[in-house]
Amino acid sequence: MKMPQLGRIPPSSPGRHRPQGSAVRNAAAIVLALAGAAAIFSSSLDGEELSSGPSLARRSLKQSKSRGMVLKQQAQECGYPVHYARTFRSESDVEPTVAASYPGSGARMTWMLVQSLTGQATGDEWNFGKQGDKVVTMKTHHPHPMGKKRDWPREIPRAILLLRNPADAIPSFHNFLYEVQHKLEGHSTRAPHDEWVNWRDSSATDGELRGGGFERLLASWVNSVKYWMNSYPREGEHRLTLAYEDLIGDNNGINTTLELGGFLEKAKGVEMIPDPAIECTWHRVVKGNDAPRSLRNGEKQRRYKRKQLDLMVSALDELEMKYENEGKLVGILRRYRSNIIKRPAEEKGKHLPEEVATKMARR
């Protein structure tokens, strides 16, 4: 499999914008402290099954039962042998890879893509499938409270870290919670604007983060990055760091999929579909009929207060400084930083109901 070339990340520009003000610096310190607290809380769970985890795993497995037929049709359309479409068979000799991500970062789409690339079953950290750990990838949201604590680097020596801009991952996580709370189909409904604002600005202290609270959520995202970077320190050998935005992007999607496939292929018992079929498979799974399309309507890009945007920039800067020698991660963090800096802040006091804002926009 031909791998895309990865360039080195140039040094940071000395003149780049940094949030100013003692209030932001103090708040940034709070976020870092909360990230430490999140790590302590995660370690204290020690395998406890939070109420959300098992039920969501069952939901995912139920949705996956028709994948075998989909893969066979895909094999025929993309021109590779149907024997690759053998998903859900038992593989006693397969070496799994951890597929780690923060909630709301594209885990579902990624396991569908992995199944299509390998024809082998993917697993969930709650292990309700018959394969157990004998799967090509094992999805987890650990160390987020929705994840399950295991000794991941000892049990599974390779990991894929799938990142998404925290400014988008956090509201996507909220939409998911809203759907679960109201017993709605997944990826069907975007939470109302007022509910997003109240959840974002909540002072909740629940351990599962269901109650929201921006600083806690950002700290949890930071802690997730640190955990996987520290647990799997060798990029390319034991860890592959990917951006969700690259995986779905028109410009980078196919090369990122090739990179994903090349990493998976190094594991024992994993066989990839032929190279010429990968582009067709990516288009079908990520962009085409098989894509896990979101039917959510309403405001796609949630807004944040200026202080919250600045806190995200500070958190990204801190991560870049900590992992300055990790070129792949640094490149992703800088893109997220640039995106967040360009976002307009929510105007003070303007929390219009979504239906009112929509009507005004149409005038």
124-174 pLDDT per residue, tens: 887 655 666 789 999 999 999 999 999 999 999 999 999 999 999 999 999
CATH at residue 179: 3.40.50
Give pLDDT, residue 194.
Answer: 96
d(CA 108, CA 289): 15
**Dihedral pair phi/psi, residue 141, rounded to 5°:** -110, 5
Q: Which pLDDT value is given to residue 254? A: 96
pLDDT of residue 301: 84
Residue 82 domain-assigned (yes or no): yes
The confidence score (pLDDT) of residue 74 equals 72
Taking alpha carbons only, the member of 193, 197, 175 closest to residue 184 is 175
**361 occurs within a structural domain:** no
The reported pTM is 0.79
Residues paired with 100 in a beta bridge: 140, 161
Instruction: Fill in the DSSP letter of residue 277.
Output: G
Domain limits at 299?
22-349
d(C-alpha 346, C-alpha 149), whole Å: 36
pLDDT of 130 reads 60
pLDDT of residue 283: 92
Residue 8 lies in a domain: no
The answer to the question of residue 357 being in a domain is no
Q: Which amino acid is at 161?
A: L
**pLDDT tens sequence across 33-86:** 556 544 544 443 333 334 445 444 444 444 444 556 666 777 777 877 655 555
Alpha-carbon span 191 to 173, nearest angstrom: 10
Do 327 and 236 meet the contact criterion of CB atoms below 8 Å apart? no
Establish if 356 belongs to a structural domain: no
Are β-strands 97-101 and 239-243 bridged in parallel, bridged antiparallel, or unpaired?
A: unpaired
Q: Is 344 a member of any domain?
A: yes
Residue 1 lies in a domain: no
Ranges of the chain with pLDDT below 50: 3-15, 37-38, 40-52, 54-65, 88, 90, 352-363
> Is the previous residue joined to 96 through a cis bond, with omega within 30 degrees of 0?
no
Total domains in the fold of the chain? 1
How many angstroms separate the CA atoms of 81 and 61, rounded?
A: 25
Q: Is 118 part of a structural domain of the chain? A: yes
The pLDDT score that the predictor gives to residue 290 is: 58
